Amino acid sequence: MGAARHAREPGAVQGAPSASIVDALGPKLSDNLSCPAGPETLPAMDELTSRALLLDLYRMMARIRAFEDAAEIASQGGVAAWGLDASAKPALVRGPLHLSTGQEAVAAGVCQNLQRADLLTSTHRGHGHTLAKGAQVVPMMCELFGRATGTNKGKGGSMHIADFQVGMLGANGVVAAGIPIAVGAAHALKIQGLPQVVACFFGDGAVNRGPFLEGLNWAQVYQLPVLFVCEDNRISATTPTAPMTAGSGSAARAQSMGVQGRTVDGNDVVAVHDAAQALIAEIRAGGGPRFLHAVTYRFKGHVSVDTAPYRDPAEVAAAKLNDPLTQARAKLLALGATAAAVDAIDAAAREEIQSALAQAEAAPWPEPAEAYDDIVNTAGAGPWH
Ligand SMILES: Cc1ncc(C[n+]2csc(CCOP(=O)(O)OP(=O)(O)O)c2C)c(N)n1
Ligand SMILES: [Mg+2]
């Protein structure tokens, strides 16, 4: 594989940008619908290298899919555990669970280009981003189960999961709130002269909130190392985004502030990977912030209990034909991977998650006495008021 080192690789160092794998895999789909495309000057990878990279990307997508499928089952009855239906049995995952099923290519394609020390902010739909940034499955599942062995000692849960060990600064229940956090982190990196970049994921609904304008403006004015990633699944919770959005969309808004970027087919993990690779290389070279607009589709409702009756079933069925995993599998087979090899990845992902489920269920609950630890500043008030 080229120099795009995986976030899970401890001590990975920044290297020269690896070659595009697009040439070996066929034409890009909708690369750049709104922003001018850069010339493809990089040499093509050999087929073996392309296949190895795509196998890695597929593996990550399969792990995200398996994780979320399992979490969804574990959450059944979760709203009942909130107290809405006292007759239902308590779930293993309690409270709201937002799934990114169908959007896995965005997380996998972007994060493959990040190093462990790079930073990331996420949304309310953050399992995929967290896994792709290199977090371990068992502490993640423990966190969803509210256990003491979770990434956040069970106090964050699905919607506020974070893992600072891999630079994952947090999912966020407040739409667009990850944007100023990412920009602040990037400003801190710049002040300290550190080489990392920050990947900032948000949804198409977030671009209609003030922090989007404030964050992109600040990042552009100070030329901060942020990759803004708009996961455009064309829906904001339960409402189509287009009718409530003025202008030509998120990439045009970014461009109006001078933040250059690309629009890609967010279900094509190769297109996402290659675009992110090019944009991150520009950021690392000191070019300031960049914008990646990834057009995708969420297969499920807003939250796990939402069966999305407001959606046209024909639209959902059509979108499933464009499943990012199916697309990647077809490309792998075209590159000479065997169906058995791809099936083995799926099976390994399911086994990994099954094991994590068992470990999470057996894991201890947090001690009530520790409820306020790590949350309230027990050392007294800070120097600011
Ligand atoms: C500031 C704020 N306003 C409203 C909400 C309620 N809410 C949760 S998700 C969501 C829609 C977000 O749309 P998008 O960013 O596209 O995310 P997606 O639904 O596609 O995951 C809204 C309005 C919220 N969490 N925060
Ligand atoms: Mg959306």
Identify the CATH number of the domain in which residue 182 sits: 3.40.50.970
Residue 90 confidence class, pLDDT cut points 50, 70, 90: confident
Mutate to test the pocket of ligand 1, among 175, 207, 235 (most ligand atoms within 8 A of CB): 175
The CA distance from 115 to 345, in Å, is 23
Residue 87 confidence class, pLDDT cut points 50, 70, 90: low
DSSP assignment of 343-375 equals: HHHHHHHHHHHHHHHHHHHHSPPPPGGGTTTTT
Residue 46 confidence class, pLDDT cut points 50, 70, 90: confident
From the CA of 175, give the closest atom in ligand 1: 26
From the CA of 125, give the closest atom in ligand 1: 21
Report if residue 18 sits inside a domain. no
pLDDT at position 374 is: 84
Mutate to test the pocket of ligand 1, among 236, 299, 304 (most ligand atoms within 8 A of CB): 236
pLDDT at position 305 is: 85
Ligand 2 centroid – CA 207 distance (Å): 10
pLDDT at position 88 is: 58
Structural domain boundaries, residue 189: 46-81+90-360
Strand order in the sheet with 226-232: 168-170, 119-121, 198-203, 226-232, 290-295, 261-265
Q: CA nearest 182: which of 114, 131, 246?
A: 114
From the CA of 236, give the closest atom in ligand 1: 13
Q: Kindly report the length of the chain.
A: 385
Report if residue 30 sits inside a domain. no
- Average pLDDT over all residues of the chain: 87
pLDDT exceeding 70 applies to what percent of the chain?
82
Q: Which residues surround ligand 2, an ion (CB under 5 A)?
A: 203-205, 233
Residue 25: pLDDT above 50? Answer: no
Give residue-wise pLDDT tens across range 246-265: 999 999 999 999 999 999 99
Residue type, 217: N
Which ligand is located closest to the Cα atom of residue 211?
A: 1
Q: Which two tokens stand for residue 345?
A: 């990845």
Residue 24: pLDDT above 50? Answer: no
Residue 144: pLDDT above 70? Answer: yes
Instruction: With beta carbons less than 8 A apart as the criterion, state whether 155 and 374 touch.
Output: yes
Residue 183: pLDDT above 70? Answer: yes
pLDDT at position 378 is: 62
Q: Give the alpha-carbon dihedral of 77, 83, 86, 91, to 10 degrees.
A: 30
Residue 15 confidence class, pLDDT cut points 50, 70, 90: very low
Mutate to test the pocket of ligand 1, among 101, 124, 306 (most ligand atoms within 8 A of CB): 124
Ligand 2 centroid – CA 82 distance (Å): 25
- Give 52's strand partners: none
pLDDT at position 165 is: 97
Ligand 1 environment, Cβ below 6 A: 124-125, 173-175, 203-206, 233, 235-237, 241, 298, 302
Residue 372 confidence class, pLDDT cut points 50, 70, 90: confident
Residue 31 confidence class, pLDDT cut points 50, 70, 90: very low
pTM listed for this prediction: 0.87
Give residue-wise pLDDT tens across range 269-313: 999 999 999 999 999 999 999 999 999 999 999 999 899 999 999
Q: Which two tokens stand for residue 235?
A: 């829906």
Q: Average the pLDDT over 194-202 and give the result.
A: 98
pLDDT at position 341 is: 96
Q: Average the pLDDT over 136-156 and give the result.
A: 97
Q: Average the pLDDT over 32-57 and give the result.
A: 61
In our burial notation (b when 16+ CB lie closer than 10 A, e otherwise), range 23-58 reads ebbeebbebbbbbeeeeeebeebeeebbbbbbbbbb
Helix (H, G, I), strand (E, B), or coil: what is residue 289?
coil
Residue 47 confidence class, pLDDT cut points 50, 70, 90: confident
Report if residue 1 sits inside a domain. no
Domain count, the chain: 1
pLDDT at position 76 is: 82
Report if residue 371 sits inside a domain. no
Which residue's C-alpha comes closest to atom 25 of ligand 1?
174
Burial class (CB within 10 angstroms; exposed 0-12, middle 13-18, buried 19+) of 148: middle
Residue 332: pLDDT above 50? Answer: yes
The CA distance from 179 to 167, in Å, is 15
Residue 340: pLDDT above 60? Answer: yes
